Every structure is written in C-alpha cells, then in structure tokens.
Amino acid sequence: MSESLTSAFDRLVDARPPARPTILFDTATVLGGSIAGLLAARVLADHAGEVVIVERDELPAKPRPRPGTPQDQQVHTLLPAGHQWIERWLPGFTADALERGALLSGPDTTSTAFDGHRQVRADTDFRLFVAGRPLIETVLREHVIARPNVSVVRGRVTGLRFADGAVSGVAYYDGNENGNGERVLATDFTVDATGRASRVPAWLSEHGYDEPELERLAAPINYATALFHRDEPASELEVACALGLFAPGQGVGGVSVAAANAVEDDQWIVMLMGYDDARPGRTLDQFREITAGLPGVFGRAAAGAVTREIVTYHQAESRRRDFTGVRRFPAGLVSVGDAVASFNPVYGQGMSSAALHASCLSAHLTDGPDLAAPATGFFERQRLVVDAAWAISAGGDAERLDAVTGAAVPEEVSRQRQVLRQIVGATLVDPAVATAFNNVSYMLRHPATLADPAIVERAAAATG
C-alpha cells in the first residue's frame, strides 16, 4: 500500500475552503450547470471576481428532470465522501434538503447484500444521503448561485477561443438561438462540465492541441426505475436505503443489481439493472414480479401505488479520459465530472467524484500554480480520484460481464478478483472488514487501503 497515495486521497476527501483565498481571475467560466459544474463554480467563487455558469437547459425553480441529465430519473445516493465535502463547502445544504424530504440513512437503516446475504453492521457511523436527483441538484444550485459573484447564463456552448496558448473565450448561442446569434464570453479560466458527450476534446484538436486519450470499457447496462407511494413515515423505516448485488445467475429475472431508496414526497424509488441483453422490469407486472422474488425491502417498496411510470436508461460503456498524458494542452482549461470519467451510475460514485474533482481544483488553485501553463497539478490529483472510482465501478462491471460472457481472464487479474471476493465475503461476518470495504465504496478511503495485509488476512480467515 502506497502511503503517499492514500494520504493524498485523504487530503482531498477532508479538504475545506481556503481560510484566506486569493483572487486569481477576473472571470472564470463553467460550461454546464449540473452537479459537477456547480461544485466547480463553488470552488472558483473563492478565486475569481466573477464566476459565470453557461447552461443549455432552462433551470427550473422547483425540482424536476432536465434534458441535459438523461439519468436523473434513476436512483441517486450521495455517498459520505461527497456529502461531507458539500456540507463543508456549502453549510446548510443538508438541512435545506432534509426539510424538503431528503433522508439520511445510517448503518441501522442501510442494507447492502450480496446474493441475498446482508453485510454485517460496520463499525463506523456513516450516513448515506438519499433523495431524487432533481431535488439534490436544485438545493445545491440554490446554495451555489446565492454567492454574490456566481451567475448563470442560459446558452449552448459552440466552441472555445484561444490566445497565447490559453483559453481566452467561450462561444455560445443564448437561449433564443434564432435572435441574437453567437456570443463570446471573455474568460480567464474555464471548466468543462458538459458531461460524457463533451465536445471540448474535438475543439482542442481543431485548434492544434492534443486530445486526451479516451479509454472505453464495454459494459452495457440496462436500468428500469419506477416511483411508488410509501406508507411508512421516514422515522419508522427499518430500511431506507437498500442495495442488492447478485452474481450471474443468482438474481431474479436477469437482475444483477437492485436498489431502493426512500425519497421525498413519501415515495420509494426502485431500480432494477441487468447487464448485456438482460433488460429486467420493462413492464409494471414484470417489475413487481421480479421485486417480489428479491430478498429484503424491494417487494414491499414496489407494492405501493405507482407515482411515476417506469423509466428506462441504457449505457453502453464506461469511459475515462487521461489528461495527464497530454503533451500539448492550453492553459486556463480543466475538465470535471463525466467529461473526464463516467461509470455505471449504480455504484453511486458520480456525485461524490464530482465533489472530489472540485476538491482537486481547490488544491490546485491554492497551490499558487503557474496560470500561464497547463493545469498539470490539477490533472495529476484528479487522476487519483478517477483511478479510485474506476477500480470500484468499472472493475466490478468487468468481472460480472466476464462471468456472463465466459471471457478469458489474465491470471493476475483473476488473483486480484479472488482477493476482492474474499473481502466482499468477509463483509458478511467481520465488522472490521466491512468497515474497510465501506470506506472504499463510499469514497472515504482509496482502494489501495484494501491491500493492507491485516485486512487481507482477516478476510481470508473469515472466508476460509
């Protein structure tokens, strides 16, 4: 285990706003107003006279789905790492969200099960923040744009402008594309938070810069998610947040992952996920038949009256871009969120990864960087976060898909997976191993901590 690796990750998780922030820019611009963009804007508010968020969608005053976030009607859980970071940087976020129906699920009301066997209670007093994604984003946006130097401009970004080896402007069409034509916003620093379909790499190439290398992991996933009325008040719930993971052939009706969260407006949000050709829960009858056969809360949650019909979501691959290996890159530009790495959303790492990307940005800007040079220090920190999330989500997807397809697995990878399976198995009986595993799953600690010989030995003993 690399002490420097884990220590660097710990610092990002535990970071707080700078005590004496330094203004580095007149204007900083964020492309995209979803969670990753909002958190980047919060960091930039400490270092810029003005922060402008350019967002294509009309941003609603009340929580509702947006076209720019196609997965926002699926299950969302804010992991402890992201939740704690957000609350430190935006005090009052949690209280405002709880007042509107969000819930905090602790060890006693959280159920994680593998093939129907529930994980033993961990030694830590963690809290999972559960709510609909539109509510989370709405409350977060209110807190960010309440800062006096942050504003939102509605517009579709069409390109970047460059001068002296740096990004100098952002071109966009405003909300009325037929009326005013293209505009250019002068900027000193730009954050790309436009998601997995970001066009920024292509724009870089058009202007003679290098595109970051794109790694793809074919991991076709199929979601079906519905909302149901919940009779139990939040205070009486035995389980408020449930996750069930199944080895190939162990789930009902092709389900590999099931999730259920108690959310605002007295509802359950329930999700069924299958890999490859498995598309469980496409009809309400099938959805309820499957959940009735799953262990735990799933059948009870899906038995209530439907408050929103089934919404499906398909994602063909996980992907990440490596900015650390780019040789020719402009100053004054970074990317965050899904524009850098997007994973299977079921692992719940998207929002927490976005928070830690923002933490990387704060660490970079408070280091006194050379603003006339590419943001190498930022990308190196961010790679640490991306690697950690990729190891958990993409690694888990790869193993399950290999098992489904019967693909050959290199011996070294097979050994690593065997150790991880022992650790997962030990979480069913050993609280210390469950704590170590949860700390990694919740992005509080780097995955390298699971290689601690003491953890490996405990896992082997518990499953031997």
Burial group, residue 311, by CB count within 10 angstroms (0-12, 13-18, 19+): middle
Give the end-to-end CA distance of the chain in Å, rounded to a whole number.
23
The amino acid that residue 256 corresponds to is S
CA distance 334 to 326: 12
pLDDT tens digits for range 184-238: 999 999 999 999 999 999 999 999 999 999 999 888 999 999 999 999 999 999 9
Mean pLDDT of the chain: 92
Q: Which residues contact 23 (CB under 8 A, 6 or more apart)?
A: 47, 48, 49
pLDDT tens digits for range 290-343: 999 999 899 999 999 999 999 999 999 889 999 998 999 999 999 999 999 998
Domains and CATH numbers, the chain: 10-68+136-215+322-375 (3.50.50.60), 93-132+216-316 (3.30.9), 395-463 (no CATH)
Strands 25-31 and 189-192: parallel
* Residue 178 reports pLDDT greater than 60: no
Q: Which residues contact 119 (CB under 8 A, 6 or more apart)?
A: 111, 112, 113, 427, 428, 434
Which pLDDT band, with edges at 50, 70 and 90, does 177 fall under? low
pLDDT tens digits for range 405-444: 666 667 776 777 788 889 999 999 999 999 999 999 999 9
Residue that has been written with the tokens 């690694």 in this structure: 395
Structure tokens at 231: 């009779």
CA distance 457 to 253: 36
Cβ–Cβ under 8 Å, residues 183 and 172: yes
DSSP 4-50: HHHHHHHHHHH----SS----EEEEEEE--SHHHHHHHHHHTTTEEE
Residue that has been written with the tokens 């040789």 in this structure: 327
What is residue 179's predicted lDDT score, i.e. its pLDDT?
Answer: 53
What is residue 1's predicted lDDT score, i.e. its pLDDT?
Answer: 42
* Residue 13 reports pLDDT greater than 60: yes
What is residue 168's predicted lDDT score, i.e. its pLDDT?
Answer: 98
Choice among 2-11, 125-134, 287-296, 374-383 with the minimum mean pLDDT: 2-11
| 126 closest CA partner among 78, 176, 60 | 78
Cβ–Cβ under 8 Å, residues 252 and 281: no
| 52 closest CA partner among 200, 189, 164 | 189
Q: Which residues contact 385 (CB under 8 A, 6 or more apart)?
A: 9, 12, 353, 356, 357, 360
Percent of the chain with pLDDT over 90: 80
Q: Which residues contact 51 (CB under 8 A, 6 or more apart)?
A: 27, 28, 29, 30, 41, 44, 45, 147, 149, 150, 151
What is residue 409's predicted lDDT score, i.e. its pLDDT?
Answer: 64
Q: Which helix (H) or strand (E) holds 435?
A: helix 431-441
What is residue 312's predicted lDDT score, i.e. its pLDDT?
Answer: 95
Please state, as a whole number, how many other Cβ atoms lie within 10 Å of the Cβ of residue 186.
Answer: 12
Strands 150-163 and 48-55: parallel
Order of strands across the sheet with 103-105? 77-78, 128-130, 103-105
Q: What predicted TM-score, i.e. pTM, was given to this entire model?
A: 0.94
pLDDT tens digits for range 103-158: 999 999 999 999 999 999 988 889 999 999 999 999 999 999 999 999 999 999 99
DSSP 375-389: -HHHHHHHHHHHHHH
pLDDT tens digits for range 73-104: 999 999 999 999 999 999 999 999 999 999 99
- Indicate the Cα dihedral angle 118, 120, 126, 132, nearest 10°: 0
Cβ–Cβ under 8 Å, residues 338 and 201: no
Collapsing DSSP states into helix, strand and coil, what is residue 214?
strand
